[in-house]
Chain A
Amino acid sequence: MSSLRILVPIKRVIDYAVKPRVNKAQTGVETAGVKHSMNPFDELSVEESVRIRGEERSPGGVEDICVVSAGPAKAQDVLRTAMAMGADRAIHVELAEGEELEPLAVAKLLAATAAREKSNLVVLGKQSIDDDAGQTGQMLAGLLGWPQATQASKVEFGADDSVTVTKEVDGGVETVRAKLPMVITTDLRLNVPRYASLPNIMKAKKKKLEKVKLGDLGIGNEVRLKILKVTEPPARQGGGKVEDVDGLVSKLKELGAL
């Protein structure tokens, strides 16, 4: 059984609890002065990786947990958070402020990183809550030619490098098995991420954070989708309240819903 070299890609996004506002120029969402944090699905990836080691679930053990993020300087904040949660080291792929990568470009960047770091397991969030694309993990698996298990709610390790993953699918769950190296994407039910304790946050400051440029990985930022405009969704007006159940029933009938 190979020991695991886990690569955990993470993304800094607008905090999930913040209601995003479209900017005046209709080119995107206002990000300046808005609270950002680690993409919630990526917290699950970090947590799962740390648990695989802590619970000694992999027969070959865990040799390395490396987190990677592509973004502006502030992306280092989420990398430090991941290290405070238990990741060993971090790679920051530096982008200019406001520069963004499409999922295909991220997948290419991760494929190069996985090769460079000799990773045999990549654990990603199933989607980022900003772009909501849900593509990167599957694209990465395609580029690497590795098996994939998406929307994982349970990950188990067996003999001979086999990994059994229970996936959330429409209508229930499905279980698949594959061999390392592989790509797993996390669903919300996988685990409950820990909070980083203050001592661990302090320790994380001493962990290694390597900075690289896209070019160092042999990647360019090729944009395939031009954003023509970003708009607010049509606003919905609350229709007011009724006094009792009879009022509810008659209003629903009036609206043609009953």
Chain B
Amino acid sequence: MFSAARRAVARPATAAIGRVTLNAYAHQRLLSALAILEQRQGQLSAGSLSAVTAAKAIGGTVHGFLAGASVKGAAEEAAKVDGIDKVITVDNAAYEKGLPENYAPLLVENIKKGGYTHVIAANSAFAKGVLPRVSALLDSQQISDVTSIQDDKTFVRPIYAGNAIATVESADAIKILTVRGTAFAAAAPGSGSAAIEEGADPKAEATSEWVSEDLAKSDRPDLATATKVVSGGRGLKSKEEFDKIMLPLADALGAAVGASRAAVDSGYADNSLQVGQTGKVVAPEMYLAVGISGAIQHLAGMKDSKVIAAINKDADAPIFQVADVGLVGDLFEKVPELTEKVKSS
């Protein structure tokens, strides 16, 4: 009798569990994400692998996408990344420079062909140019700079220069997102062996033409992914002083160099080094702000850093409200002293 009762209770329960599992399984099978990967001259861009980490969070299959003049090497690298189920490649020099006019139709064709529910790219200059164009062609409202994925349709993103955090739910059939690199670590190359498959090439006409580029060359770590960043502001007073004060400190710490908008506008540092709402968003282990007051547009680009330190002669500068450690003093005196002490320790 006891066992009969237990059976009677147990049976519906088992059936219910079975149903849930089946639903979850069916649901999961429907989800498939395409992670847009970037490459340059056959070299996979590590930063773009944050798209893979985000794609994994969706919970379905993950395909990587690569296009360019010679993508074989990058594709083989991508195929090793854990979590990638397949790498779709299109080998055609027309896509090497990532011109949105032909790259967007290329993506659209492959998104349709693969029946993806999600298209995800790291929020780089390339993705910022191409993905909204893709979204418009697919009639989907893109979600930019996502910092957290709640479920397959709910995403979190900062608005108002990071002064507010919005949680949004997408009603679009194909969800297109760019993700903030500092919120989704790049997927590490592992021991995977994903299949590499050739994608569709619609051979759309490139209506723009790549003329040239001028990239700042530096042996220092890349700003967006560096574990330490030292950043200089208007307080540096000139390009000469900026280079004389900030570069030795960066080298002593093994840090990347950043700058505030004021420093960039005054010509002290290159625009590509700008940290903030309109520049790069960084979240290193340590961010040292030198001669930076801490305007909200600057804080938008660095306030998720693990440890923030500041050196400023103005004790009331807003930067001190977010800094874990602050030193009030003349940077021309304090920074060289700091550089020496870091070197000798």
Report A's interface with B, CB cutoff 8 A: 14, 16-17, 19-20, 22, 29, 102-104, 107, 126-127, 129-143, 146-151, 153, 164, 167-179, 182, 187-189, 223-233, 236, 238-242, 244-249, 251-252, 255-258
Contact = CB atoms under 8 A, between A and B. Distances in A.
A172 B270 contact: yes
A257 to B, nearest CB: 4
Contacts of B209: 176-178
A141 B154 contact: no
7 contacts: A140-B136, A182-B208, A189-B265, A238-B322, A241-B325, A248-B325, A248-B334
B164 A231 contact: yes
B146 to A, nearest CB: 11
A257 B307 contact: yes
Interface in B91-135: 99-101, 104, 124-126, 128-135
Contacts of B167: 227-231
Contact of A251 (B159, B325, B345): B325
A39 to B, nearest CB: 12
Nearest to A150: B129
A1 to B, nearest CB: 18
A19 B277 CA distance: 13
Contacts of B228: 257
B257 to A, nearest CB: 13
B208 A176 contact: yes
Given A29-B164, A142-B137, A241-B320, A178 B208 contact: yes
A174 B99 CA distance: 11
User: Which range holds the interface residue count of chain B?
Assistant: 35 or more
Contacts of B315: 241
Given A134-B128, A225-B168, A255 B307 contact: yes
A171 B322 CA distance: 28
A227 to B, nearest CB: 6
A187 B285 CA distance: 29
Contacts of A102: 141
Contacts of B308: 236
B309 A252 contact: yes
A20 B160 contact: yes
B211 interface: yes
A177 B208 contact: yes
A176 B101 CA distance: 12
B3 interface: no
Main secondary structure of the interface of A (DSSP, over half): mixed
Contacts, number: 256
A173 B208 contact: no
Contacts of A150: 100, 128-129
Given A135-B135, A176-B208, A239-B323, 19 more contacts: A135-B142, A138-B136, A147-B208, A168-B125, A169-B215, A172-B216, A175-B213, A178-B209, A187-B278, A224-B141, A227-B166, A228-B169, A230-B165, A233-B164, A241-B315, A241-B326, A245-B327, A245-B341, A248-B327
Given A29-B160, A172-B215, A178 B171 contact: no
Contacts of A140: 136
Contacts of B125: 151, 167-170
Given A129-B161, A227-B167, A231-B165, A169 B213 contact: yes
Contacts of B158: 132, 233
Closest 5 CB pairs of A and B: A142-B136, A138-B132, A172-B215, A224-B141, A135-B132
B164 A22 contact: yes
Give the one of B154, B209, B286, B321 with max A CB within 10 A: B209
Given A149-B208, A230-B159, A172 B322 contact: no
B207 A179 contact: yes
Given A138-B136, A151-B125, A252-B309, A224 B172 contact: yes
Given A168-B272, A176-B209, A247-B327, A104 B160 contact: no
A59 to B, nearest CB: 19
A239 B310 CA distance: 11
Contacts of B142: 103-104, 133, 135, 139
A172 B272 contact: yes
Contacts of A242: 325-327
Nearest to A231: B165
A149 B207 CA distance: 11
Given A230-B164, A252-B309, A255-B325, A224 B272 contact: no
Contacts of A179: 207
A172 B321 CA distance: 32
Nearest to B278: A188
A2 to B, nearest CB: 16
